[in-house]
Amino acid sequence: MNDKLKHILRYVEKPGRYTGGEFGQETKSSEGINCRVAFCFPDTYEIGMSNLGMRILCGVLNREDDVLCERVYAPWTDMEEQMRLHSLPLFTQESGDDVASFDIVAFTLQYELCYSNVLNMLELAGIPLLSEERDENAPIILGGGPCAYNPEPVADFFDIFSIGEGEEALPELTRLYVKMKKDGSYSKSAFLREASHIEGFYVPSLYTVEYNADGTIASCTPKYPDVPTRVTKRIIKDMDTAHYPEKPLVPYLETVHDRIVLEVYRGCIRGCRFCQAGMVYRPVREKTPEVLCRQAKCAYESTGYDEISLSSLSISDYSELDSLTDGLLSWTEDEKVKLSLPSLRVDSFTRELMDKISSVKTGGLTFAPEAGTQRLRDVINKNVTEEDLFRAVGLAYSVGKTQVKLYFMNGLPTETDEDIEGIAKLAKDVLSVYYNTKERNRMRAPQVTVSVSCFIPKPFTPFQWEAQTELEELERRQLHLKENITDRKIKYSWHDADVSRLEAVFARGNRRLVPVLLEARKRGIRFDAWDEHFDYEKWMDAFSATGVDPAFYANREMGEDEILPWDVIDCGVTKEFLLRERHRAMKGEATPSCREKCSGCGANRLGGERTPCK
């Protein structure tokens, strides 16, 4: 640790965020290293350390003999202030080396609201923001993660994007880098051109985008014949053999998910029409319980964590949940290790599960009906009925639970005031289930929490063409719901609609948003995912200063034959399928899950082991 950093650490709130050296960190000797990668998470240490994907990818890179991968997180504002004051450039956790000195600087893009942090981190590293401004000496800037499915709003900042799962793709990229450096064929442009031939890599500077007079895209074409017209995402076919950090780093600071995270499967058999993750991670690929149990045990022994969280998009859809939980419980109970699950589907909520899983046993309960009426739930393909919900909460109430949390969305396509009133009614009915449950816990007052977010149309979903409801109207609906909730035992919380609007802009954005992001950087915007830093007015000023209309992206219904900014990416699911689903939605027709019946989404083309696809 250098003296400047030591000096600074006395004056920041949580110095442990910046020192690295977490338990289990291995120091790789710098000898024989031919490619150094700085892997950046554009949010705080506590959030970044909780991200399993980043740990996996750092792991696979460090497995390569001649690659060194180090971690970087966004410094919190107090640290940033000190770094700027003392001209300390952005550095990595492990070695403390300048990020700018690395060969490749990778960013994982987990949510649109992190874009301002990406630019701030580049600036703190002293790296020019725009790809075209970076010379041969600057690192290659690589992007990946869920937001890379529509990389266009940040296309000009990145040299290359990794589309889809990176476990196999990233080492292929570093190997190419090393090879070209060694045989002398390397130059930034030669490397990027060559890399565009590797499946799953998108080099935005190799495409020309032309626009129509109305601002929609006229064409997006490769500049050279050897560059692919569309980039297909990569997947890991056999999850059992995929890299899993069996000896994960153990942070000293408390992080957001401070526990062992076990990824049970990838993908989702459901087809909720608003959900991007459910579409882009297709097809489902399961791990076997044997592999999961071994990985969990190994991770426990090397970390000493007291909690294992089973993570996947809809955990109860795992076909071998019973044998997995039995396998884990065979030793976790004795070791006092808790099992936890993210929210459950109501139709899968059983007495047995409640007995097995500590988080279900002791915690409050969370369900996500998403919409207030059956009509709207059919539109969004959330195949959950009121009866399922009442049965699940009834069961929970009968074993003494009193707190239930329900997630909903406002502004879903076709939503009317009736659907909003339906949310209030559903919450009330859930409360009545409590009073009608004989064995209810009378010692504690019941509470139903209604938490409502705003619908954001996302690329690669059947709702990708929909307009987001205007801000004022969203706010009116939030208020309307508030007026309809009269019972004091029902608590109502909602997300700020202006945050969701900005997310919608960047989710469906194109390259014309680049100047807006540059303007936002000039205006000091960052940490948009944090309430205390999000400043909608400042953003709107950045839009008007650059003459870009946010409504064009957020509040416009896109045409079904319009060229969409993300059409250059192939995520497996076809546009025909998405259109079919859109039309079914408007007719209120539900679509069965992949396990009941294949709907021919196209993702089976990618292959995969232990998948419901044919």
Partner 1 sequence: MKEITTVRIKFSKEGRLIYISHLDLNRVFSRAFKRAGLPLYYSEGFSPHPRFGFALPLSLGTSSECEFVDIKLREMLTPEEVAERLAPALPPEIRVLDAYNSSVKFKTITHSDYRVKITSGNFGTDSAEAVKTVLTASPLVIIKKTKSGEKETDISPFISNVSVTSEDKTVIIDCRLAADSANYLNPEYLVKLLDERLSLSLEKDETSFVEIHRLGTYVDDEEFR
Residue with Cβ nearer ligand SF4 (12 or 235): 235
Work out the widest C-alpha separation in the chain, in whole angstroms: 78
State how far the Cα of 65 lies from the Cα of 85, in Å rounded to an integer: 38
Instruction: Note whether 77 binds ligand SF4 by CB under 6 A.
Output: no
The answer to whether the beta carbons of residues 148 and 157 sit under 8 Å apart is no
Q: Does the footprint of ligand SF4 cover residue 275 (CB under 6 A)?
A: no
Comparison of 319 and 414: residue with beta carbon closer to ligand SF4:
319
> From ligand SF4, partner 1, none, which one binds at residue 15 (CB under 5 to 8 Å depending on kind)?
partner 1
Partner that binds at residue 197, options ligand SF4, partner 1, none, CB closer than 5 to 8 Å by kind = none
Closest distance of CB 281 from ligand SF4, Å: 10
Smallest distance, ligand SF4 to C-beta of residue 298, A: 31
- Which partner from the list ligand SF4, partner 1, none does 335 bind, CB cut-off 5 to 8 Å by kind? partner 1
Q: Decide: is 612 part of the binding site for ligand SF4 (CB under 6 A).
A: yes
Q: Which of these ranges, 15-23, 160-168, 389-397, 597-605, lies near ligand SF4 under the rule CB under 6 A? A: 597-605
How far apart (Å, rounded) are the C-alpha atoms in residues 484 and 332? 45
Go through the chain and tell me how many residues it has: 614
CB of 339 to partner 1, least distance (A): 14
**SS3 per-residue string spanning 553-610:** HHCCCCCCCCECHHHHEECCCCHHHHHHHHHHHHCCCCCCCCCCCCCCCCHHHHCCCC
- Candidates 153, 204, 283, 550: give the one binding ligand SF4 (CB under 6 A): 283
Question: Binding to ligand SF4 by residue 277, rule CB under 6 A?
Answer: no
Cα–Cα dist 260/245, whole Å: 10
- In the numeric block, the tokens 């006229």 are attached to 218
Residue 111 Cβ vs ligand SF4, minimum distance, rounded to whole Å: 24
- Which residue's CB is nearer to partner 1, number 306 or number 609? 306
Segment interacting with ligand SF4 (CB under 6 A) among 53-61, 78-86, 211-219, 593-601: 593-601
176: Cα separation from own chain's centroid: 28
- Taking the complex as a whole, the smallest distance from the CB of residue 502 to partner 1 amounts, in Å, to 34
Q: Give, as one character, the DSSP assignment of residue 256.
A: T
Q: Does 282 bind ligand SF4 (CB under 6 A)?
A: yes
A 10 A CB-CB count for 552 gives 17
* Total residues at interface with ligand SF4 (CB under 6 A): 11
Residue closer to partner 1 (CB basis): 330 or 544: 330
User: In the set 277, 518, 579, 598, which binds ligand SF4 (CB under 6 A)?
Assistant: 598
In angstroms, rounded to a whole number, what is the distance separating the alpha carbons of residues 353 and 233? 35
Q: Is 289 in the site for ligand SF4 (CB under 6 A)?
A: no
With beta carbons less than 8 A apart as the criterion, state whether 115 and 506 touch. Answer: yes
| DSSP per-residue string spanning 477-515 | HHHHHHHH---TTEEEEE--HHHHHHHHHHHT--GGGHH
As a dihedral over the C-alpha atoms of residue 555, residue 561, residue 562, residue 566, rounded to 10 degrees, the angle is 90
Per rule CB under 6 A, is residue 613 in the interface with ligand SF4? yes
- Cα radius of gyration rounded to whole Å, the chain: 24
With CB cut-offs between 5 and 8 Å by kind, which of partner 1, ligand SF4, none does residue 302 bind? partner 1
Provide, rounded to whole angstroms, the least separation between the CB of residue 592 and ligand SF4. Answer: 9
The one of ligand SF4, partner 1, none whose footprint includes residue 559, by CB under 5 to 8 A per kind, is none
Q: Where do contacts with partner 1 occur on this chain (CB under 8 A)? A: 1, 3-4, 6-11, 15-16, 19-21, 23, 86, 250, 252-254, 258, 300-306, 335-336, 362
Q: What is the DSSP string of 188-231?
A: HHHHHHHHTTSTTEE-GGGEEEEE-TTSSEEEEEESSTTS-SSE
Q: Which does 599 bind (CB under 5 to 8 A by kind): ligand SF4, partner 1, none?
A: ligand SF4
Measured distance CA(481)–CA(475) in Å, rounded? 10
Shortest distance, position 23 Cβ to partner 1, whole Å? 5
Q: Which does 607 bind (CB under 5 to 8 A by kind): ligand SF4, partner 1, none?
A: none
**Does residue 67 bind ligand SF4 (CB under 6 A)?**
no
First to last CA, the chain: 54
Residue 601 CB, nearest distance to partner 1 (Å)? 43
Q: Which of residues 361-400 bind ligand SF4 (CB under 6 A)?
A: none
The continuous run of DSSP H or E covering 458 comes out as none
Q: Which does 450 bind (CB under 5 to 8 A by kind): partner 1, ligand SF4, none?
A: none
CB-based contact 368:404 (threshold 8 Å): no
User: With the CA atoms of 267, 268, 269 and 275 taken in that order, what torsion angle do they form, in degrees rounded to the nearest 10?
Assistant: -130
Residue 413, preceding bond cis, omega within 30 degrees?
no
The option from ligand SF4, partner 1, none interacting with 387 (CB < 5 to 8 A, set by class) reads none
598 binds, among ligand SF4, partner 1, none (CB under 5 to 8 A by kind): ligand SF4
Distance (Å) of CA 168 to CA 144, 164, 236, 602: 13, 10, 7, 22
Q: How many Å apart are CA 268 and CA 486, to the nearest integer? A: 37
In whole angstroms, the minimum distance from the beta carbon of 300 to partner 1 comes to: 8
Show Cβ contacts of residue 576 under 8 Å, excluding neighbours closer than 6 positions: 602
**Contact partner, 7, from partner 1, ligand SF4, none, Cβ < 5-8 Å per class:** partner 1
Which one of ligand SF4, partner 1, none interacts with residue 331, CB within 5 to 8 A by kind? none
- Nearest-approach distance from CB 359 to partner 1, in angstroms: 12
What phi and psi values does residue 177 have, to the nearest 5 degrees? -60, -50
Given 319, 329, 604, 609, the residue binding ligand SF4 (CB under 6 A): 604
Look at residue 218 and give the partner it binds from partner 1, ligand SF4, none, a contact being a CB closer than 5 to 8 Å depending on partner kind. none
Q: Does 273 bind ligand SF4 (CB under 6 A)?
A: no
| Interacting residue with ligand SF4 among 513, 517, 571, 594 (CB under 6 A) | 594
Q: Any idea what the Cα angle at residue 120 is, between residues 116 and 126, rounded to 5°?
A: 150
Are the beta carbons of 117 and 74 closer than 8 angstroms?
A: yes
Kindly tell me which of 411 and 612 has the beta carbon lying closer to ligand SF4.
612
User: Nearer Cβ to ligand SF4, position 282 or 297?
Assistant: 282
- What are residue 330's phi and psi, to 5 degrees? -60, -20
Nearest approach, Cβ of residue 81 and partner 1 (Å): 11
**Which residues are at the interface with ligand SF4 (CB under 6 A)?**
282-283, 594, 598-601, 603-604, 612-613
